[in-house]
A and B are shown apart, each in its own frame.
Chain A
Amino acid sequence: MKAVRSLLDKLYTVPQLARFKPVIGAADAILYGTNETTHAAPHVVDNIDIKRYMSLVIVALLPAVAAAFFLFGWRVIAIIMVSYMAGGAVEVIFAIIRKHDIHEGFLITGLIFPLVLPPTTPLWVVAVGVVFGTMFGKEMFGGTGRNIFNPALVGRLFITIAFPAIMTMNWQTPFASGPEAITTATPLTTFKSTAQTSTINPSVVEAGTEQVLFTNAGAVKKATQNPQSEFAGVQVYCMGDAAYEKAAHHRRIEEGKASRLVSYGDLLIGKEPGSMGETCRLAILAGGLLLIGLRVSNWRIPVSYMTTVFIFAAVGSHFLPAKIAPPMFQVLAGGLLFGAMFMATDPITSPFTKAGKYIFGISCGVLTVLIRSFSGYVEGVMFSIVIMNAFTPLIDQMVLMFKYRPVKA
């Protein structure tokens, strides 16, 4: 250990390496830690520095990473490594040219970014996205703590719009590999592309049609007991006891029909296709609640965000069941949980005032359901968060203006 220490101390004094001081400093900080406290934004109202703050977020992300690895295999690790290497290169180049320290913020961006990608994303697309996100989402604004938009989401947005076929057409079924594991539909896509009815009506269900039906266990029971009803090729999202669904599922499989019963429980543990980190909702909940419990992230944004989605979807699906999916499905499908827990709560790009946090969360919720239901895009979480990122400084200034109005004499 002493040898490394003295080597690092020597490196600091070599004049030829003066340009690379940020790199040496980062190596020093990683190997030995520092006794420095926070001297750049975001300032935190606690005696922890940004490093500990950021490392807690990484710890909270680990369950989602582990779940992604478990569900989708080694490719997850490759994508994360590409993301760290390509994004890290941008960070190092900017640090050297602009002579600032290498910020720890990148460790989070580099890990969150791969988690919001489909598991089938080609590695070069991962590199393009993370380079764009780090460069235009963060470094252009002066680095960590100064960015207006969430860098990971900026990168994701860019590659979604630049390579729509790659980013929306190929999804991998969890626990499977090979060509047959590739599917074109996430639960949200299925909902958008097929006709829906709000309850299972045995006479309506036609064999071979792809329908998304929302119901509870009782209705499924009734439907499966009806000998006339066919579940072949019908996708059913239902909320109910898992054991019963399993039984119903097996019965149809035994009869040689490709039926698929998907319960909300399946969504919760991540058995449905989706982006790498967003499918296993239990892992996300564990990490997100850890962050909220440790007061690293604030509960106001995720709670107001998800409550708004739930209420808006409940009202909307009552009046427009063919357009707006039911509330439980909206909350559990897609990237809502991940976005609300890890991206909307980013202390730099979300409002710092309490009222501002509620405004941010509620607006995100409304925009998410709006975009999911009516736009050409299937998922609205990333769009809504980036749109609200743009309005964050304005929200804060408005709240401060109304709250601390100068007293009229």
Chain B
Amino acid sequence: MNISSQLWLAAVTCFAAIFTNNILLMYFLGLCPFTSVSREVKTAFGLGVAVVFVMTCTAMLNWLAFRYILAPLNLEFFRFIMFIIIIAAFVQFVEMVIDRYSPKLYHALGIFLPLITVNCAILGASLFMVIRDYTFIVTVGYGFGSGIGWLLAILAMAGIRQRLAHARIPRGLDGPGITLIIAGLMALAFIGFTGVLG
């Protein structure tokens, strides 16, 4: 395949990852930070941007590791451990770089950056990329699109929860309960995208 058709495929995959195969609303990955960090739009945005960045970069790194280290050695079963080590190492590395060069951004992101290591959406994106046999360029589009999709979902949820702050929600449902119900209703609506470029 030539480069332009690869780029086109990457763009299509990116769009599909945002809407049709939204990693949060279709696969329900990354739910723990989604329920716990969605109280305010501002912090949700910080976490979301961090997820977009880390997801794109780790998908690229994991693709290289899988293609040039694991596949030649026939160690494909080893990918779970390899991927999570790469993700953890990358997040640590990014943290140190940001702390050194931009302390302001470091403090703004705060706890969210290390938290991303255990965000299953990040690992999920890398694993999907292997299962679906994406090429490198398509992987970049997929990682970026998945991150944007996650960011969109958590932003919408944070907006809703800010508005619900004063609503009379049944006591037992306050917090994670109503969050999961809203996520379910959003997922119900996103089913409408089924088949769009998917």
A residues sitting closer than 8 Å to B (CB atoms) are 98, 100, 136-137, 140-143, 146, 148-149, 154, 157-158, 161, 367, 370-371, 374-377, 380, 382-384, 386-387, 389-397
Contact = CB atoms under 8 A, between A and B. Distances in A.
A303 B170 CA distance: 37
Interface stretch (B105-113, B133-141, B190-198): B190-198
B192 to A, nearest CB: 3
12 contacts: A98-B168, A100-B168, A140-B169, A140-B178, A146-B168, A148-B164, A148-B185, A377-B192, A387-B190, A390-B186, A394-B155, A394-B160
Interface band, chain B: 20 to 34
Interface in B31-57: 41
A394 B158 contact: yes
Nearest to A140: B181
Nearest to A382: B192
A146 B189 contact: no
Nearest to A373: B196
A157 B194 contact: no
B167 interface: yes
A146 B158 contact: no
B168 A143 contact: yes
Contacts of B155: 394
Given A154-B185, A161-B191, A371-B193, A391 B169 contact: no
Interface of B: 41, 155-156, 158-160, 162-164, 167-170, 173, 178, 181-182, 184-186, 188-197
B169 A141 contact: yes
Of A100, A137, A393, A396, the most chain B CB neighbours within 10 A belong to: A393
A393 B196 contact: no
Contacts of B156: 390-391, 393-394
B159 A374 contact: no
A98 B162 CA distance: 23
Given A136-B184, A390-B160, A393-B160, 15 more contacts: A136-B185, A140-B181, A148-B164, A149-B185, A154-B188, A370-B196, A371-B196, A374-B196, A375-B193, A377-B192, A386-B189, A390-B189, A391-B156, A393-B156, A394-B41
